[in-house]
Amino acid sequence: MASISSNLLFISFILYLIATLFFGGAIKEKKSLNEKKATNKWGKIAVFLTIIGFIAQLGYFITRWIAAGHAPVSNMFEFTTFFGMALVGAFIVIYFIYRTTLLGLFTMPVAILVIAYASMFPRDISPLIPALQSYWLHIHVTTAAIGEAILAISFAAGLIYLVKAIDQTKSSKKTFWLEVIMFGLVTVIGFVIVSSIFAGTGYQEKFNWIDKHGNQAEVEYLMPALTGPHKGELLTKDGFKPLVEMPAFINAKKLNTVIWSFAAGIILYGLIRLILRKRIGASLKPLVKNIKLDFVDEISYRSVLIGFPVFTLGALIFAMIWAQVAWSRFWGWDPKEVWALITWLFYAAFMHLRLSKGWHGEKSAWLAVIGFAIIMFNLVAVNLIIAGLHSYAGS
């Protein structure tokens, strides 16, 4: 059953890749991309492949659930693949409301990057630790992920708005920050590439170290250790000695992965700029020439309008109920809890500024993009670097 699950996930990934190419073909259509009937044959094929890919990934989720005996959302691989699936599902729903294939061209690459990012984590099925043996696992985690996925659609629509609205003929603060966003997406690709390279070579080295509770433990690195564990002792003969030792509350191994990914992202971004001879944002601008700004602004806002209450239920209300059941307290200032609250406060401010202060258009688009950056920081940095009660999610 586990092998069937893996095969279905791989099939869905390939279908998403092919669908993205067809979405690219769809935007060459002469008709306006804002009309509900403006989806050409390329777009119809892209949507069809996306739906088939989603069904295949849903099959992965079900078969892995059967094989594991619990909802497959208990570690980074499982949660991130579910997040990717929820993102695709949210796009499919939004597509049938607005009928715009351009949104698929910007959304599907994000979903592909999320699933590729997930594939770099250990995929073994393991028993749940006691803290996770609750039906609240299914309720809290899946609802939070679905809420974040819907909010990610707002990011895609906001990104389209900014690519269309920002003047790329001259350098400015706007072009700089838009390019920072593009660099962030390229860095995820860098993570996938560098992780694949070291995995292919079978690189590994082991350390003894002292955790934040003062206990001795062993950790295995799959990349050369630029950042070493607290009071670490290298066990691998001729292994790479760390450049710097991290305090116990920092997950040195995963910080090391982030640093390698960031370095790979810089190199990859430099190569892309060398090939394109211009900013990535400027290269994407011709793709959005037929889109109306009010149209994508509406999609971005509606996505937050739907995603925010779903996220509130999953990431805060259900999470606090489970925390009360599991740890006899509904709030404990754990890093993951704090960043979930920060995310909620940001989107609450988004709604306030949109409804009360009239922050429409470009201001709203920037907020949608920043909100998604906060979500990704929570997913990547908080899960991978900062040790806390939710550290099992980074296993």
b (16+ CB within 10 A) / e for 218-246: ebebbbebbbbbbebebeeeebeebeeeb
Average pLDDT of the chain, as a whole number: 85
Q: What is the pLDDT of residue 100?
A: 84
With beta carbons less than 8 A apart as the criterion, state whether 384 and 341 touch.
Answer: no
Q: What is the pLDDT of residue 38?
A: 47
Q: Which residue matches tokens 């509904």?
A: 330
Can you read off the two tokens belonging to residue 244? 């710097």
Question: How big is the CA angle at 305 (ends 176 and 329), to the nearest 5 degrees?
Answer: 95
pLDDT of 367 higher than 90: yes
pLDDT tens per residue, range 210-250:
877 778 888 888 889 899 888 888 888 888 888 888 887 77
Q: What strands, in cross-sheet order, belong to the sheet with 205-210?
A: 216-221, 205-210, 233-234
Rounded Cα gap, residues 161 and 39, in angstroms: 20
Q: How confident is the model at residue 36 (pLDDT cuts 50, 70, 90)?
A: very low
pTM of the model: 0.84
With beta carbons less than 8 A apart as the criterion, state whether 145 and 99 touch.
Answer: no
- Calculate mean pLDDT across residues 89-118: 89
pLDDT of 99 higher than 70: yes
**Higher pLDDT among residues 202 and 28, named by residue:** 202
Q: What is the pLDDT of residue 132?
A: 66
pLDDT tens per residue, range 284-295:
998 888 788 999
With beta carbons less than 8 A apart as the criterion, state whether 374 and 349 touch.
Answer: no
pLDDT tens per residue, range 155-211:
999 999 999 999 988 899 999 999 999 998 888 888 888 888 887 888 888 888 887
pLDDT tens per residue, range 37-74:
445 788 889 999 999 999 999 999 999 999 888 888 88
Q: What is the pLDDT of residue 181?
A: 92
Can you read off the two tokens belonging to residue 178? 């838009």
